[in-house]
Amino acid sequence: MRFAAVSAVAGLALATGAVTAAGPWDGGQRKAERDLAAAAARPQDARHADGERAPGAAPAVLAPLPKAGKRSADGLAEALEPLLKDSALGSDHPAAAVVDATTGERLYGVGQSDAYTPASTIKLATAAAALSAVGPERRIETTVVAAGGDGVVLVGGGDPTLTAAGLGDLADATARALKARGATGKVKLAYDVSRYSGPVLHTIGLNDNIAPVSPLMVNEGRLDDSERGPADRTAEPAADAARKFAALLREKGVEVDGEPGEGRADGKAARLASVASPPVSALVERMLTNSDNDIAEALARQTALASGKPASFEGAAQAVTERLAALGLPMPAVHIADGSGLDRADRASAEFLALLLARAAEPGRPALRPVLTGLPVAGFSGTLRDRYPRDAAGRALVRAKTGTLTGVNTLAGTVVTPGGRLLAFAFLASGTTDADAAQRALDRAASALAGAGSAPPGSGA
């Protein structure tokens, strides 16, 4: 797997009474967390007794949670309501929902059924839909096929995480395949992006938060060496990828005739070579941990393809919506406009997000587990790495997806109470004027759920 993970051992060590394993783990970023958490929960002489699980295994993921320390609805209201009245959370009262992640019991809600702009917390919906439609083990392929006597076509499958190294592996395999076929003359190279349809630009336009949405790109179309966060992007991700591929073929001794142009692969053409992405479970984790917009839009389109719909913004939105409804989630306040949450037309309720997280915790839905394992850990990983300093309440106890747009701040995730109960929550605020202050207010609310009290002033953004 190409994604370098950040361990959040401290958070899971504190939760060992509640969480025994949260696979699928093969190649996933949370493997070290699972091993450390499981080891801490067992006697010293039994720490290596269970061994490694086979790829694709989906064991009982969340053990039954003890009821000790259960907080009544009145207790939650007493803890949360003063914090949710913080003026930093905007002129409108923020929406909130808290659910027992094991039973699905609604424990607290205010405005929980109202539609709010969810910002990047909508990626939780994208993740659940993709895992349901495609499955956690599926990998996205980039292929090269033959075209006539002297041509090859580079076919984009929709993997935004394809790296220059991966493209080099594909070029090497292609060169070997051409040699085996006896091809010695010039090769005409084309590239195929027909897997997607509709507009390639997000409604926000060409932006450093997302590349044009294409089934063929290298390193998310980034023009620097970054792997996450904002960056300058190419306006032609597919053409750029094809030009890089042509250069790599030449390095392998394949003479490429001219510049590559857009074309269409014959569905019956012989496959020469392919490379595959990490499994969808790992893509989901990376998307949620880093709030990766490019992966989000790719997963939404994979959901559309698996559902027999056009891989466009519109088709993806329809497919994601249908998959979420099939999970039995409350949909009246939900409107999916994109996969990433960059579109302000997205709508979701706090109840919807909290119950989605509870669905992902159900023992009978192991395919959805990456929705939980991909959540950033407060003070340790992803978009929560810097939001809980070392002395902050809730550090390592809170795992949550963040959401930020101008005037919008959201947080949805899970917390472990002192009694070992796993709670799912969602807080949605709009009309905020100070993003940093709003984030601190949301972090204090999440910390209060963990039974740790309010975070200290200046708990970080």
Name the residue ranges covered by the structural domains of the chain: 73-135+282-292+302-449, 141-277
What's domain 73-135+282-292+302-449's architecture? 3-Layer(aba) Sandwich (3.40)
Active site residue 291: yes
- Say if domain 141-277 classifies as CATH 3.50.80.20: yes
Select which of 31, 120, 312, 340 is catalytic: 120
- Separation between Cα atoms, residue 272 and residue 266, nearest integer Å: 13
* Residue 178 reports pLDDT greater than 90: yes
The answer to whether 361 and 62 have CB atoms below 8 angstroms apart is yes
* Residue 93 reports pLDDT greater than 80: yes
Active site residue 120: yes
Residue-wise over 410-448: b if at least 16 C-beta within 10 A, else e?
bbbbbbbbeebbbbbbbbbbbebeebebbbbbbbbbbbb
Tens-digit pLDDT profile for residues 383-432: 999 998 887 778 889 999 999 999 999 999 999 988 888 999 999 999 99
Domains 73-135+282-292+302-449 and 141-277 share a fold: no
The answer to whether 209 and 383 have CB atoms below 8 angstroms apart is no
Both tokens of 57, joined, read 């295994």
- Separation between Cα atoms, residue 232 and residue 250, nearest integer Å: 27
Q: What's the whole-model pTM score?
A: 0.84
**Residues 6+ positions from 123 with CB-CB distance below 8 Å:** 287, 288, 291, 296, 339, 340, 341, 401
What is the per-residue pLDDT for 72?
62
Q: How confident is the model at residue 132 (pLDDT cuts 50, 70, 90)?
A: very high
Select which of 132, 214, 277, 291 is catalytic: 291
What is the per-residue pLDDT for 358?
97
| Mean pLDDT (the chain, rounded) | 84
Active site residue 186: no
Select which of 123, 188, 244, 309 is catalytic: 123
Q: How confident is the model at residue 62 (pLDDT cuts 50, 70, 90)?
A: very low
